[in-house]
Amino acid sequence: MFSSPRFFAIVASIALAISGHAAENFDQFFRKNPTGTPTIDVYFSPLGGCTQAVVRELDGAKKTVLVQAYSFTNAPIAQALVGAHHRGVDVKMILDKSQRTEKYTEADFTAHAGIPTWIDSVHAIAHNKVMIIDDSTVITGSFNFTKAAEEHNAENLLVIHNAPDLAAKYTANWFVHQKHSEPYEGR
Ligand SMILES: [Zn+2]
């Protein structure tokens, strides 16, 4: 009887039930995170959900969003930043100096919307791609906040939740760069 197809079907369904339960526990433990342990999600371009992940985090921002961007041509992300700004979230942004020579970009759109923006021209390139949200979430990776990074490039993006210690380090670095940057009004 133990070699019957029916027996294997029963074993397989029990195994599925157990693994489903384990996955649910994993989800509860790591994502809802009752212990305060940081949790990390990763996304890959092209078309692997990077833009949607950033927009989702910005839509959930409650107090602060600090941005460091090299290039900025991603319309959904720009709209989410402006949306957060309009909700009263304190949004600030530092951009690379190449922003000055590019044609009108999303950075001009967000600057015109009233988001305080600076250009960091101290470095060969200001190549960071970082967002720090509510002193707790850090978003970073190779993913530029651009249409090309979403649609055409091979990129990665980490979304790190419940990470106040890490967020504090990124925030300190954000202000190091902000101090030697110049205000940008948009064009
Ligand atoms: Zn700098």
Pairing assessment for the beta strands 130-133 and 117-120 based on DSSP bridges: unpaired
* Residue 121 shares a structural domain with residue 160: yes
* Residue 50 shares a structural domain with residue 127: yes
* Residue 52 shares a structural domain with residue 124: yes
What's the gap in Å between 44 CA and the centre of ligand 1?
Answer: 27
Domain tally, the chain: 2
* Residue 42 shares a structural domain with residue 23: no
* Residue 20 shares a structural domain with residue 43: no
pTM of the model as a whole: 0.81
Q: Which residues of the chain have pLDDT under 50?
A: 1, 26-30, 32
* Residue 178 shares a structural domain with residue 163: yes
User: In whole angstroms, what is the distance from residue 177 CA to residue 49 CA?
Assistant: 29
What's the gap in Å between 102 CA and the centre of ligand 1?
Answer: 19
* Residue 15 shares a structural domain with residue 102: no
* Residue 4 shares a structural domain with residue 94: no
* Residue 3 shares a structural domain with residue 54: no
Q: Is 134 considered catalytic here?
A: yes
Side by side, the strands of the sheet bearing 39-45 are 39-45, 155-161, 137-141, 130-133, 64-69, 90-96, 117-120, 182-183
For the purposes of burial, counting CB atoms within 10 Å of the CB of 177, is it exposed (0-12), middle (13-18) or buried (19 or more)? middle
* Residue 101 shares a structural domain with residue 17: no
What's the gap in Å between 178 CA and the centre of ligand 1?
Answer: 7
Q: Is 127 considered catalytic here?
A: yes
Instruction: Confirm if 35 and 28 have CB atoms less than 8 A apart.
Output: no
Residue 45 maps to which CATH number?
A: 3.30.870.10
pLDDT for the residue 1: 47
Which residue of the set 134, 135, 147, 177 is catalytic? 134
Range of the domain at 4: 1-32
Which residue of the set 85, 92, 96, 129 is catalytic? 129
pLDDT for the residue 12: 56
Pairing assessment for the beta strands 90-96 and 64-69 based on DSSP bridges: parallel
pLDDT for the residue 68: 98
Which residue of the set 21, 86, 123, 127 is catalytic? 127
